[in-house]
Chains A and B, each alone.
Chain A
Amino acid sequence: MKSLLVAIYIFIAFIIFAPIKNKITKPVPLTKVSPAPIITTPKPKPKPKPLSKPLPIIKPAIEKASIILGKNDSKKNAIVITTKISNITVDVPLTMVKLKEDGKLSKPTIVSAEDLNARFSNVMSANPLKAYHVNLFFKESTDMQKDSKQLISKIIDEMKKREPCVIKVAGFSDTFGNAKDNMAISKKRAMMVKDLLQKSKDVNISEINIEIFGETELLVPTEDGIKEEKNRRVEITIR
Chain B
Amino acid sequence: MIRTLLLLFIFTLSLSANIGLVKTLTGIVNIKRVDKIITLNVGTIIHEGDIILTENNSSVGIVFKDGTRLSLGSKSHIRIEKYLFNPKEEKYKFDLNMTKGKALFESGEFGKRAPESVEFKVPEGIIGIRGTKFYVDIK
A residues bordering B, Cβ < 8 Å?
Answer: 62-72, 74-84, 91, 99-103, 105, 116, 119-120, 122-131, 162, 164, 166, 204, 206-207, 237, 239
B132's contact among A78, A122, A126, A127, by CB below 8 Å, is which? Answer: A78
Known contacts A120-B102, A128-B69, A130-B69; A67/B136 CB under 8 A: yes
- B125 and A81 contact, CB distance less than 8 A: yes
Among B42, B112, B128, B137, the one with the most A-chain Cβ atoms within 10 Å of its Cβ is: B137
Contact of B133 among A63, A69, A101, A122 (CB under 8 A): A69
Whether the Cβ atoms of B104 and A131 lie closer than 8 Å is no
Chain B positions 125 through 139: 1 when the CB is less than 8 Å from some CB of chain A, otherwise 0: 111111111111111
- A99 close to B104 (CB less than 8 A): no
A129 CB to closest chain B CB, in angstroms?
8
Q: Which of chain A's residues have a CB closer than 8 A to the CB of B73? A: 120, 122-123, 126
- Identify B63's interface contact among A71, A81, A105, A166, CB under 8 A: A166
Nearest neighbor of A78 in chain B, beta-carbon distance: B130
* Known pairs A65-B124, A65-B125; A123 contacts B72 (CB<8 A): yes
In the assembly, what is the distance between CA of A84 and CA of B138, in Å?
18
A66 to B132, CA, bound (A): 16
Within 8 A of A (CB), among B38-84: 42-43, 59-63, 67, 69, 71-74
Q: Which residue of A is nearest B60, CB measured?
A: A126
Q: Across the interface, do A122 and B59 meet the contact criterion of CB distance under 8 Å? A: yes
Selected contact of A64 from candidates B26, B102, B131, B139, CB within 8 Å: B139
Instruction: Give Cα distance in the complex from A117 to B104, angstroms.
Output: 12
B122 at the interface (CB under 8 A from A): yes
- Beyond A65-B124, A128-B61, 10 additional contacts (C-beta under 8 Å) are A65-B123, A66-B137, A68-B134, A79-B130, A80-B130, A81-B128, A83-B124, A91-B130, A99-B124, A131-B108
B127 with A67: CB separation less than 8 A: yes
A66: B residues at CB distance < 8 A = 135-137
Docked Cα-Cα span, A162 to B62, in Å, equals 12
- Given contact pairs A64-B138, A65-B138, A74-B111, A127 touches B67 in the complex (Cβ within 8 A): no
CA distance A64 to B66 in the complex (A): 30
Q: Is the CB of A76 within 8 A of B131?
A: yes
Which one of A69, A99, A101, A128 has the greatest number of beta carbons of chain B within 10 Å?
Answer: A128
**Chain B residues at the A interface, C-beta cutoff of 8 Å:** 18, 21, 23-26, 42-43, 59-63, 67, 69, 71-74, 102-104, 106, 108, 111-112, 115, 122-139
**Minimum CB distance partner of B42 in chain A:** A164
Nearest first, the 3 A-B pairs at minimum CB distance are A76-B131, A70-B133, A126-B59
**Cross-chain pairs A/B with CB under 8 angstroms, 29 sampled:** A64-B123, A64-B125, A65-B122, A67-B127, A67-B136, A68-B134, A70-B132, A70-B135, A72-B132, A72-B133, A76-B130, A76-B131, A78-B131, A81-B127, A82-B128, A83-B124, A83-B126, A99-B125, A102-B124, A103-B125, A105-B125, A116-B135, A125-B24, A125-B59, A126-B60, A127-B104, A128-B71, A164-B23, A164-B43
Alpha-carbon gap, A155 to B78, bound state (A): 33
Q: Is the CB of B43 within 8 A of A127?
A: no
Alpha-carbon distance A35/B132, docked complex (angstroms): 42
B61, A67: Cβ atoms closer than 8 Å: no
Identify which of A75, A103, A129 contacts B131 (C-beta below 8 A). Answer: A75
Would you give the shortest CB distance from B39 to chain A, in whole angstroms? Answer: 16
